[in-house]
Structure 1
């Protein structure tokens, strides 16, 4: 079994780690675009062109499915990716977890890149799945870039700035960018109010990993003794995991699996 994941940067390691936990035996292909990152400020046409290039680099390795582990690419390029690759390779997009967040009690905040915040796509999800729920869209300029570079000071600054825009009564935060899942506990600490019930964070990594397995007719098998291979492609170049990926638990999990297999 081989599953590919694509993103502008290292945000894909959250979903890759989720796949690895469900199916340790799956070969993984991680294709990203550090040369063009971040994608958020780019035009729709530019994002689509770069996403297609990243996806095609992954497709050369003949995966059974491709996870678009990037909210920006899912918003702007998913139709083009599916037109290019399906039906040969099923393409699974990443949708912000607004529906499950809205199903809980209390107001919801959606943290996302400035390009996604207020977009027709996100507003449509709010309309469809959060009607009647108090929702605050919180733009997080610079956070994905700070996570990409594992810049601790910038991560602290950008999380603090977004937390200041988040109403104190929110009970759930949707992590609307895959990079944000890598610093989820830091986000929780910044938003959690003393004396309030525990904040619920909603990411997408587990859901897209499970959906990818369903699309190829496979189920979880965490007890598998086999260890799948890991292929990393950075802007079209075969490489190792970027050092910054190892700053996060998800990156270390993927690296440990590779080391064990060797």
Structure 2
């Protein structure tokens, strides 16, 4: 079994680690676009073109499914990706977890990139799944870039700024960018208010990993031997995991599992 994941950068690590936890025996292909990132400021047409290129580099490795582990690409390019790759390759998009967060009651904050915040796509999800819950959209300028570079100081500043825009009474925060799931601890510490109930954080990694297995008729088997291979493609070039990826637990888990131990660190 082979599962491919794609993103502009290392935001795909959270979903890849989730797949690895469910199926340690699955081969993984991680395809990203460091030469073209960030995708957020690009036009919809440009995002679609770059996403198609990345997806085709992953599809060339003949995976059983492709996870689009990127909210921006899912918003702009999902129909084009499915049309280009055909019915034989399941393509699983990433949707902010607004529905489960709202089901737990409000108030809810949705942290997302400035381009996604206030977009018709996100507003549509809020109207569909959280019409009866108070939702605050919180733009997080610079956070995904800081995560991509593993810049602790910049991560701290961006998280603190977003936390200041988050109402004190929120019970849940939706992580509306896959990069944010890599710094859940920082976000929780910044938003959790003294004396308030424990904050719930809602990411998408576990859900898309489970959906990928369902789409190809497989079941979770976390007890399976950790024999899955790891292939990393950076803007079309086969390489090792970027050094920044190894600053996060998810990246270290991927490199440490099974044959992936053979990978060297790609120095940037």
TM range (shorter): over 0.9
Structure 1 residue ranges, 4+ long, deviating more than 4 angstroms after superposition? 258-262
Asked if residue 56 in structure 1 is aligned to residue 38 in structure 2, the reply is no
Distance in 2, matches of 1:169 and 1:128, equals 23
Equivalence map 1:194-213=2 (5 Å):
194-213=194-213
Three-state SS of the structure 2 residue aligned to 1:3 is: strand
Distance in 2, matches of 1:256 and 1:103, equals 36
Q: Which runs of 5+ in 2 are unaligned?
A: 263-268
Distance in 1, matches of 2:259 and 2:188, equals 31
| Two-structure CA RMSD over aligned residues (Å) | 1.0
Structure 1 residue 126, shift from structure 2 partner? 0.3
Distance in 2, matches of 1:221 and 1:105, equals 32
Asked whether the equivalents of residues 227 and 259 of structure 2 are also in contact (C-alpha less than 8 Å), the reply is no
Asked if residue 77 in structure 1 is aligned to residue 84 in structure 2, the reply is no
Three-state SS of the structure 2 residue aligned to 1:21 is: helix
What TM-score, normalized to structure 2?
Answer: 0.96
Distance in 1, matches of 2:33 and 2:258, equals 22
Structure 1 residue 36, shift from structure 2 partner? 1.1
Distance in 1, matches of 2:260 and 2:20, equals 13
Equivalent residue number for residue 139 of structure 1 = 139
Distance in 2, matches of 1:127 and 1:139, equals 18
Superposed CA deviations along residues 89-109 of structure 1, whole A, max 9, x for unmatched, are 100000000000001132000
Asked if residue 155 in structure 1 is aligned to residue 128 in structure 2, the reply is no
Superposed CA deviations along residues 207-257 of structure 1, whole A, max 9, x for unmatched, are 000000000000101111241000000011100000000000000000101
Asked whether the equivalents of residues 14 and 181 of structure 1 are also in contact (C-alpha less than 8 Å), the reply is yes
Equivalent residue number for residue 36 of structure 2 = 36
